[in-house]
Structure 1
Amino acid sequence: MLNWYKAKLAARPLLTQSITTAILFGVGDVTAQQLVDRRGLSNHDVTRTGRMVFYGGAVFGPAATTWFRVLQKHVVIPGSANKTILARVAADQGLFAPTFIGIFLSSMAVMEGTDVGDKLKKNYWEALSTNWMVWPFVQLVNFKMVPLDHRVLFVNVISIGWNCYLSWLNGK
């Protein structure tokens, strides 16, 4: 299975990482609905899961794949691997995270037919501050130990719990 994934990743990295992201965003939402909200299968909101899958595959997957490549190419401190890693984490948490939490909440509001401003006002700061308690540490490991082509997958696996949180927060 891993060899198959590596072959797909080598042949079509953006598509492969986008599909993987879509699936794992869906897993996060199913986890939120079934384990956190305890809805039961008969009350599962399939449309909500669909929104998360769509967002993961169409928005976050391509953006994260591109972002990690940009960081790899443009955020480099010559002669210092550790400073480079810290600079990448700082860029990720100072630029990407605030932007994509806003994009996530706005996208969900649009797909739900609710007010974007209300959604951002209600959830943005809570999501961003929670993000900063989790993701800097994850990204330190990611940028230090995970090869570039597997960084989105690593983030996606960790994101099962994070997407569960985001789905729960969005559904509040």
Structure 2
Amino acid sequence: MARRLQWKRLAQTLDRFHQAAFSPKYLLYTNIGISVGLSMVGDTMEQSYERFIGELPEWNRIRTVRMGISGFTVGLVCHYWYQYLDYLFPHRTYKVVIIKILLDQLICSPFYIAVFFLTMAILEDNTWEELKQEIKDKALILYAAEWTVWPLAQFINFLLIRPQYRVFYDNTISLGYDIYTSQVKYRKKPEPKTE
């Protein structure tokens, strides 16, 4: 009986936390927190793999923190982007969902990728030339990956997910994409062959 009462209290506490976290008052903080946390988890998973295959000698904490900060900027972008899309297109018809997907892929995805690289360049103290070169070398790879993952994921997001859970859903799907983003961002250029 006592154990059942403890579980009931825990469930009530979690429900109150959930209601507060996804309320309009705290939703921005929740979305940013989720984005930061999962960006860091994604990078940690990628670094674990890199250490496993011998590409990385040890976990680079600064890299993980930087990826988390990029999650902050991207979480901010996603939070307001989804609100803006819902404001412009409040319905959930198939036509509206397709319009949202296209706008998301053609406007937000390139912007998101640019914000990511700009954030990382600032954190890494890269020059403008280094930033431009990195975007040239890596942005198209990430954008192509966006087209393979996000149209279907966003179809579900815009059709079925309640607006306050959109960034949470997005970040859940994005965990795999965050691993890939970390891999692309920190991929080493092959050494030029010398003869």
TM-score between both structures, scaled by the size of structure 2 = 0.80
Q: Tell me, in whole angstroms, the C-alpha distance in 2 between the residues paired with 1:76 and 1:91.
A: 14
> In the alignment, is the contact (CA less than 8 A) between 2:32 and 2:75 conserved in 1?
yes
Structure 1, unmatched stretches of 5+, are: none
- Paired letter, 1:67: W
Q: What's the CA shift for 1:63?
A: 1.1
Aligned residues: 169
> In the alignment, is the contact (CA less than 8 A) between 2:51 and 2:58 conserved in 1?
no
Q: Name 1:139's counterpart in structure 2.
A: 154
Structure 2, unmatched stretches of 5+, are: 1-13, 188-195
Q: Name 2:192's counterpart in structure 1.
A: none
Q: Tell me, in whole angstroms, the C-alpha distance in 2 between the residues paired with 1:40 and 1:7.
A: 43
Cα RMSD of the aligned pairs, angstroms, is 2.0
1:152 aligns with 2:161: no
TM-aligned CA distance change 1:40 to 1:133, over 3 Å = closer
TM-aligned CA distance change 1:43 to 1:98, over 3 Å = same
> In the alignment, is the contact (CA less than 8 A) between 1:108 and 1:170 conserved in 2?
no
1:16 aligns with 2:30: yes
Q: Name 2:106's counterpart in structure 1.
A: 94
Q: What's the CA shift for 1:54?
A: 1.1
Deviations 1:95-129 (A, max 9, x none): 00011112212221222233101110110111111
1:130 aligns with 2:145: yes
Deviates most, 39-48 or 131-140: 39-48
Q: Name 1:103's counterpart in structure 2.
A: 115
Q: Name 1:4's counterpart in structure 2.
A: 17
Q: Tell me, in whole angstroms, the C-alpha distance in 2 between the residues paired with 1:22 and 1:104.
A: 12
Greater fraction of residues in helix: 1
Q: What's the CA shift for 1:76?
A: 5.0
Q: Specify which of 119, 128, 136 is matched with residue 121 of structure 1.
A: 136
TM-aligned CA distance change 1:37 to 1:87, over 3 Å = farther
Deviations 1:13-35 (A, max 9, x none): 10111111110111110111113
TM-score between both structures, scaled by the size of structure 1 = 0.90
Max radius of gyration: which structure? 2
Q: Specify which of 73, 83, 108 is matched with residue 69 of structure 1.
A: 83
